[in-house]
A and B are shown apart, each in its own frame.
Chain A
C-alpha cells in the first residue's frame, strides 16, 4: 500500500518537474526562470527522498543535503546575477 502511494507521489513530482521545466523554458522573464529552477531543486530533493524510501537505503541522504545547499547557492547566485550582472565582485572594483 505504502509503496503504491510513494510511486504515485513520485509520478506527481515528475509531472511537477515537467511543468516547472515548461516555466523555465518559456518563462517570460529571468526571475520566472530562477524561481522555476529553485522549485525544480526542491522537487528533486523530495523525489530523491521518496526514491531512497522505495529503495530502503540511507545512501542518498548526502545527495539531499548537497542538493539543498546547491539549490540555495544557485538561486542566490542567479538572483545576484539578475540584480547586478556579476556573481563574484572583485576587490578592485570597489
Chain B
C-alpha cells in the first residue's frame, strides 16, 4: 500500500482524458483534487510513528535478478517532503481550477502532467534505492519539461522547456554516474545501508568524484549557481506550475538529495566547502539580480534561486556538525534545523506569492511591474496575502520567515568560530555575504509588493480593467498566508512534529547514543522569536532592516546601476553560446568538414585508418616476421609473367584514356588466369577466363554509355595523399601476408580432403567436391548472391519510377 501510494497519482492520470472528454460541465480539476487530498490524509497517519523515531519501510520487487526494487522509506525527511508535495499539490490544484479556463484550455494535458509530476516527486523523496530514485528524478525532469511547455504554441515556452530539460537532465546523468560509483564502493544501492557504512566509504578513492557528481545533480535541479539560469526561463509555464514545481517541490529535490546524502558525504571537507560556498554564492547572486527584474514572476524566480541557496548553505553548515566533538551540545546543530525550517517556510510564502502573481496577471493582463501599481484598493485581499508573504520573505516579525532568517544568521555566526578546514579566516566573509544577501532579499520583497500594489494606478497601461480575483482563486494563497502567520506563533509544535524527525534523518550520528534509545523528540532545540538584546542576531536583523529600508526608498536612483552590466556578459549568453555556438554550430561545421558527401574522402579515411591500425598492431605486438622457409623457387617464365602483371596494373593506373585502362584490366585478368594454370588450378583458370571476358565486356558497355557532356578523356590527377594511402595499404597487405606466411601455427586440413574425396564423397575433382559436398552451404548462398544480383540488375533497368512520373506530369 505504501509503495502503491506513490503511484496513485499516475494511476489517476489514466482516467483524466475520459473525465475531460465526457464530463464537460464540471472542471476536470475537481476530480484531480481528490487525489492529493487523499494522499495528505494517508501520509498524515504516519506522523505519530515517525515522530517517535520509527521509520516505515515498504518495498516492491521490480527486477529481483538485478536487486532493483521500489522501496518506499518514510523517515522524518521523506515524510516532511511527502506532506509538502501532496499538501501544496492540493492547494495548487484548487488554485488551477480557477486559474485555467475549462473551455479554452487543454485541461486533460495539464492534469496528466501534473499528476505524473506528483508521482515522480513522491518517488524521489521516498526511494531508498538509488536507481529508482534516479528513475523518479528523471520523471520529474520530463514532467516539468511538459508542464513548462504547456502553451506549446509560444516560442518562449518551448525555449524555456528545452533549457530546463537540457540542464536538469545533464545534471541527472552526472548524478547517475555518482550513484553508480557510490554503489560500487559501498556494494549496495540502498541509501540506508550506505549511511550505515559511511565511515569506511570516506577512504575510498572515488569518494570525492562520486560526491561531486551527485552534487552536480542536486545543484542543477535546485537551480544553484551557475545552473540557476533555467529557472527564470521556466516562468513561461502556467502560474500554478510555477508555484508548485518551481518554488515548492521540484527545485527542492536537489535540497532533498543534499540532505539525504549528508550523513554519507559530510565527512568530506569538499562537501562542506562546495555546498556552503555554492549555496551562499547562489543566495547572494539570486538576491542581487532579483531587484533587476521587471517581471513579477521573474522577481520570484530569482528570489527562489536565492532562497534555495540559503537552504543549501545551511545544509552545508550542518555537515560541519559531523566534525565537531560533542556536536549535540554545540551551536552547529542548529544549521540542519534551520534549513528544514526555512524549507517549510519558503514553501508556504513562495507558493502564495506565485499564486498572487498569477492573480495579478489574470486580473490585469500583465505581469510587468513597470505598468502595475495602485492595486491595493482594487484588490485588497490579494494585497493582504502578498504583504504577509513578502514580509515573511524579507524576514520580518511576526511571520515565519523571521524565525528561519534568525536561525540562518545564528548558523552563519557560528561558522566563523569554526576552526577546522581554515574556516576561521573565511567564516567572517561568509557572514558578510549572508548579511548583504539578506539586505537585498529585504529590498526585493518590498519591491515586489509595494511596486505592484501601492503608488498610482496606471489604468491606461493595463490590458484589462483590474478587479478583485474570484474567491475560489484566493482560497489557496490565503491558506498559505494563514500558515505563514500560524507557524510564527507555534514554531515549536512544527518543530516537534516535522522538523526534529527530519533533522534526526539528516544528522543520525549526532544523536546516536549507545545507551539511550534516542528519539527525535529528544533533540534539544527550541525556536525563540526573542533572543534578548545581547544576541548578535537581533542587531544583524535591525541592521538589515535599516539598510534595506534605506536602499528601498532610494531604489529609483540606484536601480539604474544594473544597466552597467552589459547584456552580453551573463550566464544566459554563455548558455546560448554553448548551445548554439559550441554545440550546434561547431558540430555542424565539424560534420560539414568531415562528412562532405565525397565517397573518395570516406574511402581515404577508411583505408588510412585500416592501414594505421593494422601496421600499428603488427609493430606493437612485434608480430612482424619474414622467413622464406618452405617457399617454392621462382622460374624465369613466372618472373616474366609477373612483369606482365605489374605492367598491366601500371597501365590501368596511369592510362590516359579509359579504354586503355579497361584493356589493361583485361590483360591483368588473363594473366591471373595464367597464374592459376601454373599453380595447378584448372577450375579457377576456367572460371577466371570466362568471368574476365564478361566483365571486360561489361566495362566496355559502361564506357560506351558515358554521357557525352563532360566526356573528357582526362587521366587520373596525381595527389600525394592518395599515393601515400595506397602505398600504405599495399605495404600493409604485403607485410601481413608475409608475416602470416612466415608463422603458421597449425598444419592445413587439406590432407583429410585428399584422403576422403573418393571414399566418402565419390568424386575425383577435389575442388568441385568441396564446393558441392563438403561445403555445399557456401555454394548455396553464392548462388543466392548471383540470383539477387541478376534480379537487382533487371529491376534497375526495368523499373524507372521517376521517369514514369515525369511522363505523367507532361501528359
Contacts and interface: CB of A to CB of B under 8 A. Distances in A.
Please say whether chains A and B are actual partners in one complex.
yes
A70 B690 contact: yes
Contacts of A24: 663-664, 667
Given A21-B648, A33-B663, A70-B689, A48 B677 contact: yes
Given A24-B663, A70-B693, A63 B651 contact: no
**Which residue, of B640, B651, B659, has the highest number of chain A Cβ atoms within 10 A?**
B640
Contacts of A33: 663
A35 interface: no
Nearest to B637: A10
Nearest to A22: B647
Contacts of A21: 644, 647-648, 651, 667
A63 B636 contact: no
A81 B637 contact: no
A57 to B, nearest CB: 8
Interface in B635-674: 635-637, 640-641, 643-644, 647-648, 651, 659-660, 663-664, 666-667, 670, 673-674
Contact of A7 (B637, B678, B696, B701): B637
**Which residue, of A10, A25, A40, A55, has the highest number of chain B Cβ atoms within 10 A?**
A25
Contact of B640 (A15, A37, A51, A62): A15
A11 B700 contact: no
A67 B704 contact: no
Contacts of A18: 640, 643-644, 647
A24 B660 CA distance: 8
Contact of A60 (B637, B641, B659, B685): B685
B689 A40 contact: no
Tell me what chain B mostly uses at the interface: helix, strand, loop, or mixed.
helix
Interface residues of A, number: 37
Interface residues of B, number: 33
A63 B686 contact: yes
Contacts of A67: 689
Nearest to A58: B682
**Which residue, of A47, A63, A67, A86, has the highest number of chain B Cβ atoms within 10 A?**
A63
A11 B635 CA distance: 9
B640 A11 contact: yes
Contact of A77 (B648, B689, B697): B697
B685 A63 contact: yes
Interface in B699-726: 700-701, 704
Interface string A16-58: 0110010011000010010001001100100110011001010
A70 B693 CA distance: 7
A37 B689 CA distance: 13
Interface string B17-42: 00000000000000000000000000
A47 B704 contact: no
B627 interface: no
Contact of B636 (A7, A30, A40, A51): A7
B680 interface: yes
Interface of B: 635-637, 640-641, 643-644, 647-648, 651, 659-660, 663-664, 666-667, 670, 673-674, 677-678, 680, 682, 685-686, 689-690, 693, 696-697, 700-701, 704
13 contacts: A7-B635, A15-B640, A18-B647, A21-B644, A21-B647, A21-B648, A24-B663, A24-B667, A25-B651, A25-B664, A37-B663, A55-B680, A63-B677
Interface of A: 7, 10-11, 13-15, 17-18, 21, 24-25, 30, 33, 37, 40-41, 44, 47-48, 51-52, 55, 57, 59-60, 62-63, 66-67, 70, 73-74, 77, 81, 85-87
